[in-house]
């Protein structure tokens, strides 16, 4: 968990997914990093083709890539920490600037939320260094104080729980502070529901709208431009 150590009380907490929610169509560099990490550590040639990566955690994606290439689940589990380190180093070298890959209205919305003294965090399947670097290259990293990332827990719901616990432990929010999770996949909605927090789904990812509607989020938005303060503060 990455966080800054100066307690402040915020009026609300919003946890954001990254891919499809904050940035989209950012290129193949993330997937290339996972492929390269596997190749350098195990020698296996793999691909993410055919893997429904939307809403998945990076370690789960890597494990599926490995097993599809013939590795056992035991060997995949043993290789995973080094694969993650190599993949992160590759991504830090390979990712270009992606300021033009932000989802609609993201910068304006994040600025507006910050002015309202709302705490912004991340709950993402990205590996830690990949997630932070992606936001840095998109010019969005300074909006976020902390995050829970793909290698920190086995499920997205558990990641959200880690983030909420961290915010409370730091004194940034109280027990009654409104908390929302914004994402573009059914897994984001499920994670919010399992933690008893507000779910806000956006249609800016690749998930068909009907699949998002089927999970019955508290709010379903076309883009973040449709976000209203009452949705996250009340």
Q: How do residues 79-116 score in pLDDT, each as one tens digit? A: 999 999 999 999 999 999 999 999 999 999 999 999 99
Number of other CB atoms surrounding residue 175 within 10 Å: 5
- Tell how far CA 123 is from the center of its chain: 4
> Could you tell me if residue 112 is inside a domain?
yes
Residue 89 lies in a domain: yes
Give CA–CA dist 74/77, Å, rounded: 5
CA nearest to 218, candidates 41, 227, 115, 24: 227
Q: Are 209 and 203 in contact (CB under 8 A)?
A: yes
Residue 185 domain-assigned?
yes
User: What pLDDT band is residue 3 in, cutting at 50, 70 and 90?
Assistant: very low
The confidence score (pLDDT) of residue 7 equals 56
pTM, to two decimals: 0.93
Contact 14, 180 (CB under 8 A): yes
Alpha helices per DSSP H over 95-143: 106-115, 128-138
Based on the domain organization, do 176 and 214 belong to the same domain?
Answer: yes
pLDDT at 26: 86
Q: Output the CA–CA distances (angstroms, integers) from residue 172 to 9, 31, 119, 129, in the order listed.
A: 4, 34, 8, 24
According to the model, what pLDDT value does residue 4 have?
45
For 75, the domain range is: 29-94
Structure-token match 């990712």, residue found: 95
Residue 185 has pLDDT above 70, yes or no: yes
Structural tokens at position 2: 């990455």
Task: For residues 119 and 204, state if they share a domain.
Answer: yes
Read off the pLDDT of residues 35-69 as tens digits, 9 standing for 90 and up: 999 999 999 999 999 998 988 999 999 999 999 99
| Interval 123-137: pLDDT, tens | 999 999 999 999 999
Element (H, E) at 190: helix 186-194
**pLDDT exceeding 90 applies to what percent of the chain?**
93
Kindly state whether residues 179 and 193 are assigned to the same domain.
Answer: yes
The answer to whether residues 84 and 171 belong to one domain is no
Q: Is 1 exposed, middle or buried (0-12, 13-18, 19+ CB in 10 A)?
A: middle
Same domain, 44 and 117: no
Quote the mean pLDDT of the chain: 95
User: Contact 22/135 with Cβ under 8 angstroms?
Assistant: yes
DSSP 79: H
| 143 shares its domain with 202 | yes
Let me know whether 84 and 181 are in one domain. Answer: no
Distance, CA of 118 to CA of 131 (rounded, Å) = 21
Strand order in the sheet with 179-183: 146-148, 118-123, 12-16, 179-183, 198-202, 219-221
Q: Is the dihedral of CA 228, 98, 124, 133 positive or negative?
A: negative
pLDDT value for 114: 94
Give pLDDT, residue 9. 87
């Amino acid at each position: 968990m990455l966080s800054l150590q100066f307690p402040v009380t915020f009026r609300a907490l919003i946890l954001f997914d990254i891919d499809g929610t904050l940035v989209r169509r950012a290129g193949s560099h993330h997937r290339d990093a996972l492929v390269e990490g596997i190749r350098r550590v195990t020698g296996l040639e793999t691909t993410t083709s055919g893997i429904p990566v939307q809403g998945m955690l990076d370690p789960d994606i890597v494990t599926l890539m490995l097993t599809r290439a013939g590795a056992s689940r035991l060997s995949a589990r043993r290789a995973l920490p080094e694969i993650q380190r190599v993949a992160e180093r590759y991504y830090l070298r390979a990712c270009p600037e992606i300021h033009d890959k932000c989802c609609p209205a993201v910068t304006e919305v994040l600025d507006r939320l910050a002015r309202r003294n709302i705490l912004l965090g991340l709950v993402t399947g990205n590996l830690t260094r990949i997630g932070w670097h992606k936001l840095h290259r998109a010019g969005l990293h300074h909006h976020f104080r902390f995050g829970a990332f793909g290698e920190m827990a086995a499920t997205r719901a558990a990641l959200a729980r880690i983030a909420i616990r961290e915010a409370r432990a730091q004194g940034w929010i109280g027990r009654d502070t409104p908390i929302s999770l914004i994402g573009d996949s059914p897994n984001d909605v499920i994670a919010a529901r399992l933690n008893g927090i507000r779910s806000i789904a956006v249609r800016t990812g690749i998930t068909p709208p009907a699949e998002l509607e089927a999970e019955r989020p508290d709010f379903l938005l076309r883009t973040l431009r449709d976000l209203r303060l009452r949705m996250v503060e009340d």
